[in-house]
Chains A and B, each alone.
Chain A
Amino acid sequence: MAKTHVTMKVNGAEVEGLVEPRTLLVHFIRENLQMTGTHIGCETTHCGACTVDIDGMSVKSCTMFAVQAQGSDIITVEGMANADGTLSALQEGFRMMHGLQCGFCTPGMIVRAHRLLKENPLPSEPEIRMGISGNICRCTGYQNIVKAIQYASAKINGVEFQEAAE
């Protein structure tokens, strides 16, 4: 099948590649760019494991073609750490609050939570739950993911995080 040349910015770096028009964005990221943090859990836009941030929106990269991302600005989980390489507030929150187990949903969760906190810096628990409802986690039961996002939200906004009493 004839291939198309695509260019885009991923985690701040200009990248390019030759893809079939039908190549999914998630495959372009994982196979062509060799960034395997973005995962595939369902290929039908249900699980959110493949979530990346495109031009300021959370997008499931399993149901978007790479050619549709031509010229866009993408952030994947590999671009989530602080500039100096330390864990970002969100990544730290997931670790501190035990917001992951097998870690398979985690990249998508973190990328999604990143956008959620940009849109709503101090979300309430129901807002967080609604905000991540496009991402399935099979291991954690979400409670600690919610706490992880609350932790990050508090840290980013310089307010004190109080772990809700059980």
Chain B
Amino acid sequence: MNDLTPTREQRTAALEGMGCKRKRVEDIRFTQGRGNYVDDVKLPGMLHGDFVRSPHPHARVKKIDDSEALKVPGVLAVITAETLKTVNLAWMPTLAGDVQMVLADGKVLFQNQEVAFVVATDRYAADDGINKVVVEYEPLPVLVDPFKAMDPDAPVLREDLVGKMSGAHGPRKHDNHIFEWTVGDKELTDAAFNKAEVTIKEMISYHRTHPSPLETCQCVCSFDKIKGELTIYGTFQAPHVIRTVVALIAKLPEHKIHVIAPDIGGGFGNKVGAYPGYICAAVASIVTGKPVKWVEDRIENLTATSFARDYHMTTEVAATKDGKVTGLRVHVLADHGAFDACADPSKWPAGFFNIVTGSYDFPTAHLAVDGVYTNKAPGGVAYRCSFRVTEAAYCIERAMDILAQKLDMDPAELRLKNFIKPEQFPYHSALGWEYDSGDYHTAMRKMMETTGYAALRKEQAEKRAAFARGETRDIMGLGISFFTEIVGAGPSKNCDILGIAMFDSCEIRMHPTGAGIARVGSKSQGQGHETTWAQIIATEIGIPADNIMVEEGNTDTAPYGLGTYGSRSTPVAGAAIAMAARKIKAKAQMIAAYKLEVHEDDLEFDIDGFRVKGLPEKFMSMKDICWAAYNSVPPGMEPGLEAVSYYDPPNMTYPFGAYLCVMDIDVDTGVYKVRRFYALDDCGTRINPMIIEGQVHGGLTEAFAIAMGQEIRYDEVGNVVTGSFMDFFMPTAVETPHWETDFTVTPSPHHPIGAKGVGESPNVGGVPAFSNAVNDAFSFLGSTHIQMPHDFWRNWKAAKDLGAVA
């Protein structure tokens, strides 16, 4: 070997494989304004659709008069529920086993509900048209408070369900009741409470909020009458599922539907579901024979597409005097709005909320969730979380703090005492999950050491004394959160959407010159898949990541996959990619053995090719193997080098983390300052540390918004009062705190590369850390729990209610 022979390190670095902070390939187009988002799609003759929406939260629709609208220049059609009935599309199935009106059929059930769809030659004409549609309403009594939904005299919302005593998930107790879901051992849990030395009980609410990605939901539908083919460009987190749903409800053959999700400007769960806009644009295209674009505006996005959370969790913990938890009992009242359009795997009416035992070894637990209808926008979505795990993490992390307060124990000590121990993994939780791996104590201790936790507590004690002496008006809070996520939905044994198992897929095609393309069933909305997927392949097969192009989002070319949400891409699609790459590698090994004239077993993989064991100079690079695959394969072997893998994960993955928020609050104004925020994440094997850090920053910022001010709020008569970015808190660079990130690595034992997924962890873990900091700040004044969001006014109000402000 001479000096020009690259070293192992140089060869490894040239691949830019896993563990490398590879710069994103997407950025070259995005920084130049050359992305291709749905609103950038323009087709010849394209029309524009816009909605007439209801000003009333609950009203009978007496009459819709479109005659004046049709006279507006440029307006071509007005579609109503009556029009949709002729094609059997007035109602559509939801992902949660319910049905939803596409356009108001007889009555409206929430403010801004879609009533009619106006189709015109441009968006201005469409807007003129909607202003001319005259709708006559007869207002009906409005139900806003979910706690009153099942009162005997509550107005009946869903007339289509009257008299139906059973729903998609079992018996219904009331006309406004959707489902009851219970899990766990009630008797054992009740017994634990009966003999408990200490118990706590608190109603912990997680308010209604909204994912609101910067790009709203939109689509362009184009029906080709001659070919009978429908092409849909849309902001879809799961394009293949949309194709199947369209095939099922529009009764078009699935191969004649082409769904394309181009670049997407953020999803966060908002773009999983199917919305009336998609259906109306498709119908309008079929009716007019022209492409139809529907672009939602921000007010529509905030008020009519899927909300998130709205869980009211009555939480009880039983424990011994010295702080060992012995039982957990949670009852949730879930406000689902007008239609149960939650995006959850079919069997989980309340998502994976039964991860509510969190990171702790609860010997027994019992959970009941009641879902109810109200006059609010339907949903909800798993907003930057895996199907209600965010609510679960908030519930248990608040509860642990409340218990610590009652026991007069340090919340960190209480957690350390109750964590599932490393040797207990795989761990079977009382509510039915099998946690794959974890080392919680190490993560927690690393967090405590790095942040100087003990010193911070000392400082807090001094501050409190100074406050008592009247020397300061500032109070200080330390918010700990330790969370366990459940992501990677999921195994076909328990996860499906509309009966389709939640696998994911990858197809890799290597070309003769050693470059290739990978097509994947996931769909990036900013997570950087084009960059990281190539890194997995680079490490697995030894071809530089730059030589692998990644393509997603075209249902004609990508293998069937269930898409990107619930942090499932890395745990599921990432595994499919590794498995497809391993198939490529296995064939490559046979080719290399033939070319090097040895038995396959005499070869070993060495970074970017195969080497004969013991004979280092007998080596064939993967690049050369690609060439050979197309001209000199072993006799009897098919030429070519490509592979497809469909990966059905054996289990979920369970990333975890330890967060700490240090906050100061001025009691006289309620103004808070996040002095420090430290986030330690363990997501198993790290594919691209730069991207992981970016995901953590983004997730923490969304958590900060939710905990500290962001809320979808309705007044008592059902008006949405937070319908724009004016009233819906969107943190800017000024409010957003500085983030400190850290990590430990506990690989998943069942994932091919040990990766667990991270995108949602910071939102799941962040919200309780902020809320615990606020609650911890106020706790010495005698409060146990203050509801989110903790904006300045609510902080001031809390201080006042607790007597700290005159």
A-side residues, CB < 8 A to B, are 1, 20, 22-23, 27, 30, 34-44, 46-47, 49, 76-78, 80-81, 87, 91, 94-96, 98, 100-107, 110, 128-130, 132-146, 166
22 contacts between A and B (CB under 8 A): A20-B124, A23-B124, A35-B33, A38-B33, A41-B214, A41-B215, A44-B725, A46-B730, A47-B298, A87-B31, A95-B27, A98-B693, A129-B732, A129-B736, A130-B734, A132-B733, A135-B733, A136-B725, A138-B702, A139-B698, A140-B701, A142-B697
User: Contact: A36 with B39, CB < 8 Å?
Assistant: yes
Q: A37-B34, A96-B23 are in contact. List 8 more A-B contacts (CB 8 A).
A: A1-B124, A22-B124, A41-B265, A104-B37, A105-B214, A105-B265, A136-B730, A137-B214
Q: Which residues of B in the span 681-721 have a Cβ within 8 Å of any Cβ on A?
A: 690-691, 693-695, 697-702
Q: Which of A30, A34, A87, A140 has the largest number of chain B CB atoms within 10 A?
A: A140
Q: How large is the interface on B (under 10, 10 to 19, 20 to 34, 35 or more residues)?
A: 35 or more
Q: Is the CB of A102 within 8 A of B525?
A: yes
Residues of A contacting B71 with CB < 8 Å? none
Given A41-B298, A98-B691, the answer on whether A36 and B33 have CB atoms closer than 8 Å is yes
Instruction: Tell me if B528 is interfacial: C-beta within 8 Å of chain A.
Output: yes
* B124 with A141: CB separation less than 8 A: no
User: Nearest 9 A-B pairs (CB), nearest first?
Assistant: A37-B33, A102-B526, A103-B30, A104-B265, A141-B697, A77-B33, A46-B725, A101-B526, A141-B701
Given contacts A42-B724, A95-B24, A142-B701, contact A87 B32 (CB under 8 A): yes
Which one of B129-137, B372-380, B544-552, B737-745 contacts A? B737-745
Query: How far, in angstroms, from A102 to B695 measured CA to CA in the complex?
Result: 11
- Residue B272 is within 8 A (CB to CB) of chain A in the complex: no
The residue on A at minimum CB distance from B762 is A141
State in angstroms the CA–CA spacing of A43 and B302 once bound together: 13
**Contact: A103 with B732, CB < 8 Å?**
no
Chain B residues near A91 (CB-CB < 8 A): 31-32
- In the complex the two chains form, is B27's CB within 8 Å of A133's CB? no
Instruction: Output the residue of A23, A27, A136, A141 with the most chain B CB within 10 A.
Output: A141
Residues of B within 8 A of A133 (CB): 732-734
Picked from B39, B42, B526, B738, the residue with its CB within 8 Å of the CB of A103 is B526
With CB as the reference atom, state the residue of chain A lying closest to B122.
A31
Task: Choose from A95, A101, A145 the contact partner of B733 (Cβ within 8 Å).
Answer: A145
Q: Nearest Cβ in chain A — how far from B563, in angstroms?
A: 15
| B33 and A78 contact, CB distance less than 8 A | yes
Partner of A143, one of B42, B124, B739: B739
- Interfacial residues, chain B to chain A (CB-CB below 8 A): 23-24, 26-37, 39-40, 42, 123-124, 212-216, 263-266, 268, 297-298, 525-528, 690-691, 693-695, 697-702, 724-726, 730, 732-734, 736, 738-741
Q: Among the interface residues B23, B34, B265, B700, which one has the most CB atoms of the partner chain A within 10 A?
A: B265
Q: Tell whether A128 pairs with B265 under 8 Å between CB atoms, given A42-B298, A140-B694, A143-B697.
A: no
Q: Given A20-B124, A102-B526, answer yes or no on A141-B213 (Cβ-Cβ < 8 Å).
A: no
Known A36-B39, A141-B697: A103·B26 in contact at CB below 8 Å: yes
Instruction: Please indicate the chain A residues that have their CB under 8 angstroms from the CB of B726 in the complex.
Output: 44, 46
Q: How far is the CA of A24 from the CA of B698 in the complex (A)?
A: 31
Task: Please state if B23 and A47 are interface contacts (CB–CB under 8 Å).
Answer: no
Contacts of A144 in B (CB 8 A): 694, 697
